[in-house]
C-alpha cells in the first residue's frame, strides 16, 4: 500500500506547487484565523481544494485531516487517512520567502506509511514510504550519527531554549538554527543537514506527519518530547511536542529535557 500511495502524493505535491506559485506571496489575499491561530491566504485554500479533490477522488475510502478543512469525526472511523498541510510556513509565503512547503502524508491505523514534503521555490521534493527509504529529488538521504550533543546542530525556535525545559535549568551546548516550516525542519534533519530538531509546544499532526516518516526512513528517530512514539489520526490532532534527529542526538536531547 505505501508503494501505491507514494506516486499519488508526489504528483499531488507537484500540482500543489504549481497552484501555490501562481499566487504572488506578498499580494495574495490574506487574513488571520480566529483565536490567534495564525494567517491564512487564498493560496492555502486553493491548494487545499486541489488536494482534497484529487486525493479523495483517487482514494475515496481514505479519511481527511487538513489544516484548512473544518475537522469532524468521520476520519476516526477510517483506517487510512490523508494528513495535509496545504502550505506549511504561511508567514514565509506571505513575506515572499522560499521556505514554505506542501506536506502530505497517509496514515494507516495511526502509522504514517507514505509522505512528501515539497518546497517548490527551492526545487526540493522529500519523499518516503514505510520500509522504502527516504529521498530528496530521488536520491537517498540519511540522518547524521553525531554522538556529542555539545557539537550538534539543532533546529528549534528560541522559546525552546528556556532553562525551565532542561535538566539543571540550562540548555545543552548545542548550536541552534531555525527554519519557519516544521515540515522542512524535519526534512532537513532527514537529509543530514542538521543533527536534530525539536519543538516543545503542542504541535498539529499536519505539521509533523510527513516529516516524521521521512526522518524515520532516513535512519533517524522521531518521538514526542517525552520519548514516546508518535501516533496519528487522533481525536485531538495535536502532539505533545516533537523531538527528531539522528538516533544519538535525538536520544541525548530526550535525556537532557526536564
- Residues of the binding site: 67, 85, 87-88, 207
Neighbours of 158 (CB within 10 A): 8
Sign of the Cα torsion 27, 119, 215, 76 reads positive
Examine the pLDDT at 26 and tell me if it is beyond 70. Answer: no
Q: What is the pTM of this model?
A: 0.95
Examine the pLDDT at 98 and tell me if it is beyond 60. Answer: yes
Neighbours of 75 (CB within 10 A): 19
Average pLDDT of the chain is: 94
Mapped to the 3 state alphabet, what secondary structure does 178-198 carry? CCCCHHHHHHHHHHCCCCEEE
pLDDT tens profile 144-163: 999 999 999 999 999 998 99
Neighbours of 53 (CB within 10 A): 10
Looking at domain 2-140, its CATH architecture is: 2-Layer Sandwich (3.30)
Phi and psi dihedrals of 233, rounded to 5? 65, 50
Residue with cell 514554505: 100
C-alpha cell at 74: 468521520
Are the C-beta atoms of 243 and 223 separated by less than 8 Å? yes
Are the C-beta atoms of 258 and 161 separated by less than 8 Å? no
Mean pLDDT computed over 102-115:
98
Which CATH code for domain 149-256? 3.40.190.80
Q: What is the pLDDT of residue 27?
A: 67
- Residues of the binding site for Mg(2+): 67, 85, 87-88, 207
Q: How confident is the model at residue 110 (pLDDT cuts 50, 70, 90)?
A: very high
- Boundaries of CATH 3.30.540.10 in the chain? 2-140
Nearest-angstrom CA–CA distance, 81 and 231: 12
- Boundaries of CATH 3.40.190.80 in the chain? 149-256
Are the C-beta atoms of 206 and 83 separated by less than 8 Å? yes
Mean pLDDT computed over 226-246:
97
Q: How confident is the model at residue 36 (pLDDT cuts 50, 70, 90)?
A: low
pLDDT tens profile 163-186: 999 998 888 889 999 999 999 999
Amino acid at each position: 500500500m505505501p508503494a501505491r500511495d507514494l506516486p499519488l502524493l508526489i504528483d499531488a505535491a507537484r500540482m500543489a506547487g504549481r497552484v501555490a506559485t501562481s499566487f504572488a506571496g506578498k499580494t495574495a489575499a490574506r487574513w488571520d484565523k480566529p483565536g490567534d491561530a495564525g494567517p491564512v491566504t487564498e493560496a492555502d485554500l486553493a491548494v487545499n481544494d486541489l488536494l482534497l479533490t484529487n486525493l479523495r477522488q483517487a482514494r475515496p475510502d481514505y479519511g481527511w485531516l487538513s489544516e484548512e478543512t473544518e475537522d469532524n469525526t468521520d476520519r476516526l472511523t477510517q483506517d487510512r487517512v490523508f494528513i495535509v498541510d496545504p502550505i506549511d510556513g504561511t508567514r514565509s509565503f506571505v513575506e515572499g520567502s522560499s521556505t514554505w512547503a506542501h506536506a502530505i502524508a497517509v496514515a494507516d491505523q495511526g502509522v504514517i506509511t507514505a509522505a512528501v514534503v515539497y518546497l517548490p521555490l527551492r526545487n526540493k521534493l522529500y519523499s518516503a514510504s514505510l520500509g522504502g527509504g527516504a529521498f530528496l529529488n530521488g536520491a537517498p538521504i540519511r540522518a547524521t550519527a553525531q554522538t556529542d550533543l555539545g557539537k550538534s546542530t539543532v533546529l528549534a525556535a528560541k522559546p525552546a531554549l528556556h532553562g525551565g525545559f532542561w535538566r539543571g535549568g540550562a540548555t545543552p551546548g548545542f548550536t541552534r538554527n531555525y527554519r519557519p516550516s516544521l515540515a522542512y525542519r524535519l526534512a532537513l534533519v532527514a537529509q543530514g543537514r542538521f543533527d536534530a530538531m525539536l519543538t516543545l509546544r503542542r504541535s498539529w499532526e499536519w505539521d509533523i506527519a510527513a516529516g516524521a516518516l521521512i526522518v524515520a526512513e532516513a535512519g533517524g528517530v522521531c518521538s514526542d518530547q517525552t520519548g514516546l512514539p508518535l501516533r496519528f489520526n487522533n481525536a485531538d490532532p495535536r502532539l505533545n511536542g516533537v523531538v527528531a534527529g539522528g538516533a544519538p542526538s535525538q536520544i541525548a536531547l530526550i535525556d537532557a529535557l526536564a
